Homo-oligomer: A and B are copies of this chain.
């Protein structure tokens, strides 16, 4: 029993928030699925109060509310996904630019090791299992952290990546995309090692732009056919 570790009796609302994020990101709650407050509250063993607070914090990110009707998991169209990738391109490009001067040599070594580990892995050579298993996320998040911009890292890590992760499992890779992505990662690291901000930003933006144009839709049109509950909210 370590006394250096403080007792973390986190609020029920925070715990519910984490559980919900996990459930949605892992696909246990499918996009478009309706969430019944009483049902979920019972399953989590809490009352509706904390759950509502957690749902409120998720609103606009992973969940959308319709007054007097209910809450449902966000359901992004292909166009929405493209829009998110555009934001990624802008923000991660900037993060990579900053990282080129802000990352320490040790950070760069860690990043290099991450890249080497990817290169020797089965999935990359076989052209699959790179994006799917989160290795790609690790690489990107490592650079984002390296930008030393906390606001930027927080937004990408807590908001954007979560939304994208919801749809990862239903996006497949074009043939040879994994190898190309790996090569692009190498180019990025090279630019970072050279401490060249312009080249680093350009390489990252190119990488994400390529990923965007390679977006496949395993289940084309799903988002449009998912039952929309209620009417669109009046007013703005």
Interface residues of A (CB under 8 A from B): 6, 8, 10-11, 13-14, 49, 52-54, 56-57, 59-60, 67, 80, 83-84, 86-87, 89-91, 93-94, 98, 149-152, 154-155, 158, 234-235
Known A6-B234, A67-B11, A234-B8: A86·B56 in contact at CB below 8 Å: no
A10 and B67 form a contact (CB under 8 A): yes
Q: List 14 A-B contacts (CB under 8 A).
A: A6-B234, A8-B234, A14-B67, A53-B53, A53-B56, A54-B56, A56-B56, A56-B57, A60-B158, A80-B151, A83-B151, A86-B94, A90-B90, A91-B91
- Across the interface, which residues of B come within 8 angstroms of A84, CB to CB? 151
Chain B residue numbers with a CB within 8 Å of A6 are: 234-235
Quick check: A89 and B83 within 8 Å, CB to CB? no
Closest to A152 in B: B87
The one of B14, B49, B59 that contacts A49, using a Cβ cutoff of 8 Å? B49
Residues of chain B with a CB closer than 8 A to A91's CB: 87, 90-91
Q: Which residue of B lies closest to A52 (CB)?
A: B53
Partner among B60, B98, B235 whose Cβ is within 8 Å of the Cβ of A86: B98
Interface of A is mostly: helix
Q: Which B residues are in CB contact (< 8 Å) with A89? A: 94
Q: Which of B86, B152, B155 contacts A152 (CB 8 A)?
A: B86
Report chain B residues within 8 Å CB of A80. Answer: 151
Q: Take A10-B67, A56-B53, A59-B57 as given contacts and tell me if A83 and B235 are in contact as well, using a CB distance cutoff of 8 Å.
A: no
Contacts of A56 in B (CB 8 A): 13, 53-54, 56-57
Residue of B nearest to A163 (CB): B151
Residue of B nearest to A83 (CB): B151
Question: Which B residue's beta carbon lies closest to that of A156?
Answer: B87
Report the bound CA distance from A30 to B103 in whole Å.
36
User: Which chain B residue has the least Cβ–Cβ distance from A201?
Assistant: B90
**Which residue among A8, A52, A56 has the maximum number of chain B CB atoms within 10 Å of its CB?**
A56
Q: Please, how many angstroms separate the alpha-carbon atoms of A80 and B90 in the complex?
A: 19
A154 to B67, CA, bound (A): 20
**B residues within 8 A CB of A13?**
56
